[in-house]
Structure 1
Amino acid sequence: MNLAGLSNNVVKFNGLNYADWSEQIQFQLGVLGLDMAIMMDEMPAAITETSTSDEKSLYEAWHRSNRLSLNLMRMSMAENVKPSMPKTENAKEFMKMIKEYSQSDITDKSIVGTLMSELTTKKFDWSQPIHEHVTGMANIAARLKSMGMEVNESFLVQFIMNSLPPEFGQFQVNYNTIKDKWNFQEIK
């Protein structure tokens, strides 16, 4: 098993993408049968002289899962966030702390800034149908709204119009010459 190769198949955690990162980490660990440490509520009891072979096996499997889970999670972090990551040796705690970190006020402000930048600078590049481009911009506006930053529908329509390339020039001229303002549904 090559953890470095596996970490390349997982989206890098950048502080803002916990949901995607977590889903991919859990999938990779599950496929490999290494998700025991993040699935169990608590780690197994330490091995003693009276431990049964089943208890010893469980303890060893959990420790292997925990060690490799932590390694994979740490290897799939962007370099700029690694210094601020929690210092724990428990994979389940690590995952929980990462989630809390990604939901902090600082992260929310950063996400809002990133989404606003994406919304205002996004350009249609023909790599997808126009409908998907428009819907994608509306989804960004919806995410902003869910974070307390509402984008007025007229602004959204204008951002969409501004994102269109010169080939849509006649469409833009027609839009600008009519009196009525379009809503998002009409532009789709």
Structure 2
Amino acid sequence: NFLASSPDAGQLMALLLKLLNPKKTIEVGVFTGYSLLLTALNIPDDGKIIALDPDRNSYEIGLPFIKKAGVEHKIQFLQSPALPVLDKLLKDPANDGSFDFAFVDADKNNYWNYHERLMKLVRIGGIIAYDDTLWGGMVAMAEEEVPEDKREWRKQAIAFNKAIAADSRVELTLASVGDGLTICRRLL
């Protein structure tokens, strides 16, 4: 398995970032930093990214590429699970609606928890993108067709997709690039 955003999803994200021109972004789940590098390359020079991941070793695999691209100054990497950091950000009213863009590619069972917090942190008109929402096509398969060790994640992906589709606070599209990229524009 390729454990990073796919190139086609990356191209779509890069275009979205150029259109949005965000100054303040947040990335939940960094892994080796491919999407982080994409974001850093496609936001203004004075733009900032808060990057959250409990695994610093994976982040450091991509760090030489981030440095070579000259965009490290835009990134504040925090080695931590995301929920405690998001909760801390929410305690400061100055952070309400202060982010322009968020990208989520972390523990899928927490997607809805991230969504609820990001809906307060990302401004109205801002974008929240969720990677891997098609889960290898398993969301469309009958449960018995899915390998047993993947059934719980499939269930969680389906639950998240249903919940986000019913969320009247966002306008969304599901792009069938990579492993599925759900793009939400905050309305309220």
Specify if TM > 0.5: no
| Structure having the larger proportion of residues in helix | 1
TM-score using structure 2 length: 0.24
| Structure having the larger proportion of residues in strand | 2
